[in-house]
């Protein structure tokens, strides 16, 4: 455990039948100490793999944590205290099986996987308040969305449709409602998690089903709701790549490989091009299944990832060149843990 001064916090949801969020205090050296465990009041699906990225997010101002409850069809909003502790603000029904959520300037959209829709809300004093006309269908009932996220300027909402092998983008109106989806074919099969740089480069992971060694990532440019391929399917030689984050300077993307315990690092060019820099930039136990959701701290100094099979959160310090150095792990969590947000 760390004796260093508090520098931030890390949050994961347990995704149990009685869902809760486990909060960790982050020391200046990156080590984690448990702050507490906070019931959401909702229910997780109890599965060891919540099929999404973004089930736990911090709002842009860092004042609220938003958590999906996949089995009770609702979302819980917590207020974040100065010490990282949480207090429930409200719990709001959404749609069937919400698994991913995104926020920009108080506008919140939830991906409801049971109906292949996204539903809009405003963040209010009592939690989430529905937007009139704020529900939109994905490209088809079988789209099987994996993640929802806003572009950095909030002008568009992006959804990966893994079964349809497509990426959908919706223009966001001034009233918070969405236009019709603009759809582009994914560069590789099973588009899953994604992250978008401040300059508008979209990096999408491609799980390639369960094909051993076939995992890859692609990049796209995003202009409003128009998504255009840039670099197609850069493999990393690992397996079942699913989650992605990008550094604040837009130079690197980190991805986790669910089937083999590795974090890969990709380089992002000024033109949005993508290159593999290190397939094993960070490793828990090589070849061990379990690495899933990941997140970067707001200052970009640390990367954390959930290892559900070992019931742990692993951390790495991030150097200026994108290289990773382990800072340890903390365990004792259920094998159903999912989602990760860091401040």
- 64 and 193 together in one domain: no
* DSSP per residue, 24-92: EEEETTS-EEEEEEEE-SS-----S----S-SEEE-TTSSEEEEEETTTTEEEEEEEPTTS-EEEEEEE
In DSSP terms, 303 is beta-bridged to: 296, 316
Answer yes or no: is 339 within a domain.
Answer: no
pLDDT at position 288 is 79
Closest CA to 248 of 292, 293, 174, 195: 195
pTM of the model: 0.95
Based on the fold, state whether residues 123 and 202 are members of the same structural domain: no
Do 140 and 260 sit in the same domain of this protein?
Answer: no
Residues 136 and 194 grouped into a single domain: no
d(CA 268, CA 248): 12
CB 205 within 8 A of CB 243: yes
3-state secondary structure (DSSP) of residue 311 = coil
Could you identify the residue written with the tokens 């290892």?
307
Cα-based distances in Å from 127 to 76, 103, 265: 7, 13, 36
- What is the model's pLDDT at position 2? 36
Query: In the chain, pLDDT over 90 holds for what percent of residues?
Result: 87
Nearest to 184 by CA among 227, 138, 232: 227
**138 plus 2 within the same structural domain:** yes
Q: Is the pLDDT confidence value at 1 over 70?
A: no
Paired sense of beta strands 226-235 and 216-223, if any: antiparallel
Which range, of 69-83, 218-232, 282-296, averages the lowest pLDDT? 282-296
Identify whether residues 32 and 117 lie together within a single domain: yes
Which structure tokens are listed for 93?
A: 């029904």
pLDDT range class, residue 49, cuts 50, 70, 90 = confident
Q: List, in sequence order, every beta strand (DSSP E) within 258-301.
A: 262-268, 274-283, 291-296
Beta bridge partners of 317: 302, 325
Question: Is pLDDT of 45 > 90?
Answer: yes
Question: Whole-angstrom Cα distance, residue 53 to residue 196?
Answer: 13
Q: How far apart are CA 221 and CA 269, in angstroms?
A: 12
- Tracing tokens 């947000």 back to the chain, one arrives at 341
Compare 214 and 168 and report the one with higher pLDDT.
168
Boundary of a domain, candidates 178, 202, 227: 178
Q: Inform me whether the pLDDT recorded for 209 exceeds 70.
A: no
Share of the chain above pLDDT 70, in %: 96
Alpha-carbon Rg of the chain, whole angstroms?
A: 18
Answer yes or no: is 121 within a domain. yes
Name the band, by pLDDT with cuts 50, 70 and 90, for residue 261: confident
What's the average model confidence in pLDDT over 208-213? Answer: 62
- On whether the CB atoms of residues 289 and 276 are closer than 8 A, the answer is no
CA distance 238 to 253: 16
DSSP string, 108-130: EEEEETTTTEEEEEEEETTEEEE
Residue 340 in any domain: the answer is no
Domain at 226, CATH number: 2.130.10.10
12 pLDDT more than 90: yes
- Report how far residue 306's alpha carbon sits from residue 8's, in angstroms, rounded to the nearest whole number: 17
Phi, psi (deg, nearest 5) at residue 270: -60, -25
- Cα separation, 74 vs 37, whole angstroms: 19
Mean pLDDT score, 123-134: 95
Average pLDDT over all residues of the chain: 94
pLDDT at position 5 over 50: no
| 2 and 118 both lie in a single domain | yes
Q: Domain range spanning residue 28?
A: 1-145+173-178
Any domain includes 161: no
Question: Beta partners for 282?
Answer: 263
Burial of residue 199, with CB atoms counted within 10 A of its CB: 0-12 exposed, 13-18 middle, 19 or more buried: middle
Q: What is the pLDDT of residue 4?
A: 36
Q: Is the pLDDT of residue 198 over 70?
A: yes
pLDDT for residue 33 is more than 50: yes
Indicate if the pLDDT at residue 290 is higher than 60. yes
Q: Which of 129, 157, 178 represents a domain boundary (last residue)?
A: 178
Q: Is residue 325 domain-resident?
A: yes
If asked whether residues 131 and 197 sit together in one domain, one would say no
Measured CA angle at 120 (ends 116, 122), to 5 deg: 155
Q: Which residue has the tokens 């800072």?
A: 327
Number of domains the chain is built from: 2
In a domain, 165, yes or no: no
Q: Is 13 helix (H, G, I), strand (E, B) or coil?
A: strand
Residue after which a domain boundary falls, among 178, 194, 219:
178
Residues 210, 135, single domain; the answer is no
Q: Are residues 233 and 305 part of one domain?
A: yes
75 and 15 together in one domain:
yes
As a whole number of angstroms, the distance between CA 27 and CA 73 comes to: 35
Q: Are residues 240 and 306 in the same domain?
A: yes
What would the mean pLDDT of 170-192 be, rounded to a whole number? 96
Q: Is residue 162 part of a domain?
A: no
Report yes or no on 164 lying in a domain: no
């Amino acid at each position: 455990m760390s004796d260093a001064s508090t520098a931030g916090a890390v949050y994961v949801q347990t995704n149990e039948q009685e869902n809760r969020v486990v909060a960790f205090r982050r020391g200046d050296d990156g080590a984690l100490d448990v702050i507490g465990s906070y019931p959401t009041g909702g229910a997780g699906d109890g599965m060891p793999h919540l099929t999404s990225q973004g089930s736990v997010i911090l709002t842009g101002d860092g004042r609220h944590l938003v958590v999906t409850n996949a089995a009770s069809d609702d979302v819980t909003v917590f207020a974040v205290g100065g010490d990282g502790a949480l207090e429930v603000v409200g719990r709001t029904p959404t749609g069937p099986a919400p698994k991913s959520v995104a926020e920009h300037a108080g506008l919140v959209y939830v991906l409801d996987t049971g109906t292949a829709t996204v539903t809009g809300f405003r963040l209010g004093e009592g939690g989430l308040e529905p937007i009139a006309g704020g529900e939109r269908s994905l490209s088809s009932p079988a789209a099987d969305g994996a993640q929802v996220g806003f572009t950095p300027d909030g002008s568009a909402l992006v959804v990966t449709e893994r079964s349809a092998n497509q990426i959908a983008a919706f223009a966001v109106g001034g009233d918070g409602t969405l236009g019709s989806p603009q759809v582009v074919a994914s560069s590789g099969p099973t588009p899953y998690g994604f992250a978008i740089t401040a300059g508008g480069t979209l990096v999408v992971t491609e799980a390639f089903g369960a094909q051993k060694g076939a995992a890859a990532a692609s990049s796209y440019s995003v202009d409003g709701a128009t998504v255009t391929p840039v670099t197609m399917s850069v493999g990393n030689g690992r397996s079942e790549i699913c989650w992605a984050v990008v550094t604040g300077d837009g130079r690197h993307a980190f991805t986790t490989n669910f089937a083999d315990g590795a974090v890969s690092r990709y380089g992002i060019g000024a033109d949005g091009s993508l290159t593999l820099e290190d397939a094993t930039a960070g490793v828990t136990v090589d070849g061990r299944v379990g690495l899933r959701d990941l997140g970067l701290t707001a200052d970009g100094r640390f990367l954390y990832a959930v290892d559900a099979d070992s019931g742990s959160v692993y951390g790495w310090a991030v150097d200026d060149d994108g290289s990773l150095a382990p800072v340890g792990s903390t365990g004792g969590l259920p094998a159903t843990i999912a989602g990760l947000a860091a401040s």
